[in-house]
Amino acid sequence: MDITLDSLKNVCSDIKDNWDAPNDSHSKAEFYGMCIALDMIQKHYQELQDNDNSKPQYTYVYGDECNDIWDRFKMTVRDDNDRIKLQFIEFQGEGSYE
């Protein structure tokens, strides 16, 4: 089962809302500790999602751009609003490619 960030936030919110109201210093400390832990989990999950590089990275090249790309795919007849969807595969620094 995949857990989305929104569903994780909802679960954390439900836990906080359904926790018995603290009535002494011990239960108050326990409640605040639990809130901090749940907030840390949400923050960590958000950071993981923000840094997820596994998502495909796309860009579009329109008909009036980058003629060499269009020519490479033998698409010489095109309109300016036609586009090619390109996916980034990897970066190759100078000297690292064949």
| Mean pLDDT taken over the chain | 87
Stated pTM of the model: 0.52
pLDDT in tens, the chain (98 residues): 678 888 999 999 999 999 888 889 998 899 999 999 999 999 998 888 887 766 677 889 999 998 899 998 898 888 999 999 998 877 778 887 76
Of residues 89, 4, 14, the one with CA closest to residue 49 = 4
Rounded to whole angstroms, the Cα distance separating 16 from 31 reads: 8
φ and ψ at residue 68, rounded to 5 degrees: -65, -35
CB neighbour list of residue 64: distance below 8 Å, 6 or more residues apart? 80
